[in-house]
Every structure is written in C-alpha cells, then in structure tokens.
Amino acid sequence: MGCVGAHVELNGFEGTVTINEPVLRYSGNPILTCHDVNKVWGNDCRLYTYTVHNAGVAKVTGANGNNQTIMLFRSHIADGRSVIGKALSDNGVNGWIVDPKPFLLPAIENDIYAEGVNIKSVIESEAGGVEDIRVNPIGSELYVLTYSAYHEKIPDRVKVMMAITKDFKTVIRYGPISEQDMRNVVIFPEPDKNETWRALLRPNDKDREVKGSGHIGGSFGEICVGFAPSPTGPWEIGSVIMRSGHGPSAYQAKIGPGSPPIKTPYGWLNIFHGVRSTMAGNPYTLGVAFHDLEEPTNPSKLRVSAKPLLMPSVSDCLVRETDYVHVPNVVFSCGALTGKDGTVAIYYGGNDTVMNVGLTNIQILNEMCNIFRLNPLTGEHLYSL
C-alpha cells in the first residue's frame, strides 16, 4: 500500500509522495522567518518580531492580473503579544514580499466595525494579541477571516473573532463568533441546499460542560459543528463531530480544525491538528479527514485517518543558533491550497517559530482515510493489522 507513489508539483517544486510518506517537504524550508520580516518591520522597534508561523493563505489576482499567493502570518513581538502580517509570492513557494506594516493588530477604536458590534468588548478581547488566522473564501470575491484573540488581563481567555475583506487591504471587524471561550474556527466555503452555512469550531470543553463556570484554559478535545444563516453569523454551536481522548493516538490529548475545508472529488478535505501527551512533551501533528459533500456535519459519513499526515521533525524548524524557538515539536497549519493533478500545498508553522510548505496528493490522502479508519467520535481504530 505504501509503495505506490503519486506525483506532486508546485511551480518547480516537485517529487513523489506515498502513504508511508504522504508529505514532501520543500528543500528550501523555512519559506519565511522573523529575519525576513524584521528587514521590513525592523525600523519600528515596537514591531521587532521573534517568530513567523501559523499562516492563513489564499490565491489572489495581483495588480498585473497574475496569480499570487497571499500569506497572513502570525508573529510574536517583544512584549509577548501576537500580531498578523501579510506577505505575497508569485509562485507560492519563495520570493515572499512582506508588507511594510502588519495586516492586523489588536483592535482599537479607529478600526472599521460592522453595525451593531460592541467595539469596547472587541478591543478588550483583542488586547492580549491576535493570532492563528484562517482565510475562509466565500464565493469568488469575499473572504471571512477567523482568528484567535487573547484577553490582556485574564490568562488564557481566548475568543475567535470574525472579520471580512475583499481586497486584503480593508478589513471590517464583526466581533466574536461566540461568547464562549474558543479557538480554531474554519468555515465551509458554500452553504447547504437550505442556504445554511456550516463551520467547524473548537470550543473550550470545560466551558461547554459547566456553563457559567468561568473556567478558562480547558482541554479543547472536541471539534463541534456550527450553523449560521450567513457566513458572518449569528453562529449556533451544534453537536460534536470529532473527539480526541482515545489512546494510543497522535490525537489523544487535543484536536482542532486546521485549514478551511477544501472541496474535492472525495469529499470536503479537512486538514486538522492533534496533540499527544508524552513524557517528553506534547507534540502537535497534522491529521486528515474527509467530510461528505452533501452532509459534511454528519459524523457517520466522516472518514478520518488514524495515521497522521505530518509529524514534527528537526527539518521543520531550521533556525540560527541564537534564534528563539517558541514551542518544540509542533507542526500546525492554518491553510492549504490545491494545485494541478491533485497536488495540495500545505502551509505550516514549525515549532511555532518559522513558516514552511509541503506538498501532498489528494488521492494519497483519500487512501489514508480508507485504510486507517477510526471512529471520529471516540478515536477508536476501525481497522486491523
């Protein structure tokens, strides 16, 4: 099974992937680092950054009509907060041009807000930093941005905020997707036949179990479905569709959505992340699942691979000897893009420190979910050795 290979290619970066090695890492990784960003932002010491990671991505049309890849990356600045920057590449691999100013900073009164948004509450919720942005394409001209916002004074208090943009220049903030403590929200790019929009959300388990308890931190061991009449809400949190907690598993401790779902012939591709507790720490891996095209929120029609898609390695965080490394043993993706002949480009952070890219093939991912089946609601393996 693992010996059959599939070709992958992205603008001259090409090779073969198999079920045993489903991701081909780019030999030029990392594709963007703090040093690249500091060359542009470095004149303002308040924006001197130590990391570039966990970026959302999208395909856009450049000023000359050419296709470009846009990357909205997260960076830690000196005071510990995260901000979001923007970079563009003509080929999605290298030659990234960083914007001279951050794309998204913690909210202030002068930002643009949708009608009815509680501006004071948004400012308070984002004061501790904004991070891990997802670029959710809605139609051909609109993008819904979902990102985590940290409270400045309450440790670990996090909400997922929503904003919209058409041109990645003007951003309109819509406030929190929910008042619940939450991380990692991705939206399906089209509604169902009843014009209901669907999403995958990662609410705080403890907060869901004990409403009003004020518990923060949580275990984040569940992915729930969300429903809304519009991509900008209001969103209703539905039932659990994926759950961690069963061992041994790469997803034993935590689980969460990664890149926004991508429509394929095999179903909606869901690249998610999972965490396993070990004596040496808590490695983050990437997993793969396919949701049914007609019923993506039905767990009985969800195919999940027990075999991880990508596990962290030394090559995922190649830095200078004096560089800061934020979190060891982590691969984390907030965005993936499809290419020709079934190629999928996965943009992922390494050790919450640098940005990388790797290629996989949609047919290989489909076979992984067929061979290494597991129960999405319990994490139990449904295949035999």
pLDDT of residue 217: 46
The domain segmentation of the chain, as residue ranges, is: 6-371
Quick one: average pLDDT of 182-190?
96
Tokens of 378: 């319990």
Quick one: average pLDDT of 342-355?
98
pLDDT of residue 263: 97
pLDDT digits (tens, 9 = 90+) for 56-115: 999 998 777 788 999 999 999 989 999 999 999 999 999 999 999 999 999 999 999 999
The answer on pLDDT for 141 being more than 70 is: yes
Burial 49-79 (b: 16+ CB within 10 A, else e): bbbbbbbbbbeeeeeeeeebbbbbbbbbbee
Residue for token pair 């004061």: 127
Cα separation, 291 vs 314, whole angstroms: 32
The answer on pLDDT for 344 being more than 60 is: yes
Quick one: average pLDDT of 274-279?
89
Provide the β-strand partners of residue 335. 347
pLDDT of residue 42: 86
Q: Enter the DSSP assignment of 272.
A: E
Q: What percent of the chain has pLDDT over 90?
A: 83
The answer on pLDDT for 362 being more than 60 is: yes
Cα separation, 213 vs 71, whole angstroms: 38
The answer on pLDDT for 134 being more than 90 is: yes
pLDDT of residue 66: 84
Tokens of 142: 């609109």
pLDDT digits (tens, 9 = 90+) for 206-260: 654 444 433 334 567 899 999 999 999 999 999 999 998 777 889 988 999 999 9
Please give the mean pLDDT across all residues of the chain. 93
Cα separation, 101 vs 296, whole angstroms: 38
pTM: 0.95
Quick one: average pLDDT of 294-323?
97
Are the C-beta atoms of 142 and 204 separated by less than 8 Å?
A: no
Cβ neighbours of residue 223 closer than 8 Å, sequence gap 6 or more: 200, 201, 202, 240, 241, 242, 243, 255, 256, 257, 272
Angle at 78 between CA 74 and CA 83, to 5 degrees: 25
Quick one: average pLDDT of 333-343?
96
Provide the β-strand partners of residue 356. 348
Lowest average pLDDT, out of 67-71, 104-108, 277-281, 308-312, goes to: 277-281
Residue 384: which pLDDT band, with cuts at 50, 70 and 90? Answer: confident
Neighbour count for residue 326 (Cβ, 10 Å)? 16
CATH of domain 6-371: 2.115.10.20
Cβ neighbours of residue 314 closer than 8 Å, sequence gap 6 or more: none
Lowest average pLDDT, out of 45-59, 109-123, 139-153, 323-337, goes to: 139-153
Angle at 319 between CA 106 and CA 97, to 5 degrees: 55
Lowest average pLDDT, out of 202-206, 221-225, 379-383, goes to: 202-206
pLDDT of residue 385: 86
The 3-state DSSP class for residue 371 equals: helix
Quick one: average pLDDT of 112-134?
97
Phi, psi of 308 (to 5 degrees): -60, 150
Quick one: average pLDDT of 332-346?
97
